[in-house]
Structure 1
Amino acid sequence: MKAVLFDLFGVIARVQSPESMAALERTAGADPDRFWAAYWSQRPPYDRGEVTGPGYWQAVCAHLGIPPDRRLTEELTAADLAGWGEIDQRTVDLLGHLADRGIVLGLLSNIPEDLAARFEATQPWLERFRVRGLSCRIGSAKPEPAAYEWCIRELGLPPGEILFVDDRPENVRAARRLGLQGHVFTSPEALRRSLEAALT
């Protein structure tokens, strides 16, 4: 193993909390089940950079039958970005530990441009990654093979020398089908133990 390719949300950054999800539901003023069905069904083009934030929220509102306006779109965007901003410092510390040991670091994240720009402006640890495969900029998202293939090319290593870490088993399975090693993330401590075993 010469490189570790990290997922972002659910591994380094935390997923949406119940409080942040409730804030989005209140802002939209929609039934929660219908809201989240619309939220996720319209998300792939946003993550791949095919639509802007306003375009994404207009599609969500259309799905819900809510007339979108500029103010509502801005409020939904702000609430959404806030809900994805919490970092797990334990995993950030692990990045430094791996970099100090000469391990090449890569990032592969399904992330829209609005959120990517915010992370780049506020999270200096992103500079540790030699390769940043952000779905909004590479035009493909996990578990599409093209997303992993882009990272493999940019890392310049055989797939078998790259460990992919993600909290979603289906994304890890997709990576393994392309020859990468895989680790389903459950906690920073479990990942650290697995990495230590691989590096000794």
Structure 2
Amino acid sequence: MTPDRRRIVLFDLFGVITRHQRPGALEKMAARCHTSLDAFTTAYWTHRPPYDAGRHTASTYWTDVLHALSRPADAGTIEELRLTDIDSWSRVDDRMVAYVRTLRDRARVALLSNIPADHADAFLAAQSWLHDLDHVAFSGKIGAAKPDPAGFQHCVVVLRAAPADFLFVDDREENVRAARAIGMNGHVFDGRDDLAAAVDAWL
């Protein structure tokens, strides 16, 4: 197969096209676990990396969180927490979705997001616009979470491109630095208007 050398805008998802976690969600999950917000937040994020990277299932992740909080990890509690967690990350920015769609007339458009596999399945089912993109890479599905270079390399290989063909857009500077380290162009997201100007200049 020959490379497709059209330029590619590679987007992060959360904090760029979709909103950050729903306000109050961590408090709700902490209350379900009968624990403090600080203790829950620490357990929630401490055990998150292998879940995001597809090395742990949702059941394993929530079992680890509940055990860290000295709480029983019964199936009902795990499922309730899992569904609350998925819902907490489900809000999209409609203006950004519309902007992403308009870009497809000018460039290839792809996604690279840190998201567990079960969250990814729910997002794909709920957001039909994702199926119109040139590629969607979810960390829980590809086994690599940003800033691991393997996630970026996955996109390079699948899209049959060179790193320099990409403009990677993320709201986290460390992820943009990781993309640049393998030869991609990078933009730290700080709003749609600033992004549109950067994309116009790059294209």
Report the TM range for the smaller structure's normalisation: over 0.9
d(CA) in 2 for partners of 1:31 and 1:180? 42
Q: Name the counterpart of 1:149.
A: 153
**1:197 CA displacement:** 2.4
Q: Name the counterpart of 1:68.
A: 73
d(CA) in 1 for partners of 2:95 and 2:74? 40
Structure with the higher fraction of residues in helix conformation: 1
- Among candidates 8, 18, 29, match of residue 23 of structure 2: 18
- Among candidates 120, 124, 128, match of residue 124 of structure 2: 120
| Structure 2: 5+ residue stretches without partners | 1-5
The amino acid across from 2:63 in the alignment is Q
Structural mapping, 1:154-165, within 5 Å: 154-165=158-169
Aligned residue-pair number: 198
Instruction: Name whichever of 9-18 and 171-180 sits farther off.
Output: 9-18
Q: Name the counterpart of 2:43.
A: 38
d(CA) in 2 for partners of 1:96 and 1:18? 27
d(CA) in 2 for partners of 1:68 and 1:163? 42
**1:18 CA displacement:** 2.0
Instruction: Name whichever of 22-31 and 117-126 sits farther off.
Output: 22-31
Q: Name the counterpart of 2:112.
A: 108
The amino acid across from 2:172 in the alignment is R
1:86-139: CA deviations, max 9, x gaps?
A: 0001110111110022x1111111111111111111101101221221111111
Identity %: 43
1:53 equivalent to 2:58? Answer yes
**1:189 CA displacement:** 1.9
Partner SS for 1:133: strand
- TM-score relative to the length of structure 2: 0.93
Contact kept in structure 2, 1:2 and 1:104, CA below 8 Å = yes
1:139 equivalent to 2:177? Answer no
